[in-house]
């Protein structure tokens, strides 16, 4: 459970970062105290309640169901990789804030990584 929680806390922090929000901004948008959010992101809260997850899903524009699965409330299917789904969302949120030149650099880097894999 500890490894799962660490993964969850890291993903929550990455979602906030990708949106460019401070803890105080998330507090204002969600009504969740920044102290609680900090504890959540640092893995000190083992299992946030479903209503907290619902508020975070709305603020971060991610699937409530995925957050519920990550927190262990809903069982994942055997072949389901929720972590990848959330990480993909983080990447898309982050890319929206890039300049056109930075987006081109990201695409170039992805192509570079793919070319290394083919060798």
CATH code assigned at 45: 1.10.260.40
Mean pLDDT along residues 13-20: 88
**Is the pTM value of this prediction over 0.95?**
no
Boundaries of domain holding 23: 2-118
Per-residue confidence band for 115, with pLDDT thresholds at 50, 70 and 90: confident
Give the whole-angstrom CA distance, residue 35 versus residue 10: 16
**Per-residue pLDDT for 118 more than 80?**
no
Are 27 and 34 within 8 A, CB to CB?
A: yes
Number of domains in the chain: 1
Tell me: the pLDDT tens digits for 29-82? 999 999 999 999 999 997 899 999 999 999 998 889 889 988 888 887 777 677
Per-residue confidence band for 1, with pLDDT thresholds at 50, 70 and 90: very low
User: Which residue has tokens 């389901």?
Assistant: 80
Tokens for 18, please give them.
């990708």
**Helix ranges restricted to H, 20-49:** 23-30, 34-41
102 burial type by CB count under 10 A (0-12 exposed, 13-18 middle, 19+ buried): exposed
């Amino acid at each position: 459970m500890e490894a799962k929680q660490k993964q969850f806390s890291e993903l929550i922090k990455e979602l906030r970062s990708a949106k460019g929000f401070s803890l105080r901004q998330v507090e204002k948008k969600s009504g969740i105290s920044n102290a609680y959010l900090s504890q959540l992101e640092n893995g000190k809260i083992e299992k946030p309640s479903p209503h907290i997850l619902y508020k975070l899903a709305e603020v971060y524009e991610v699937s409530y169901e995925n957050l519920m699965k990550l927190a262990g409330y809903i069982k994942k299917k055997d072949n389901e990789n929720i972590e990848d789904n959330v990480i993909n969302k983080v990447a898309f949120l982050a890319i929206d804030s890039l300049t056109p030149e930075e987006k081109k650099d990201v695409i170039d880097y992805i192509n570079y990584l793919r070319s290394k894999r083919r060798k």
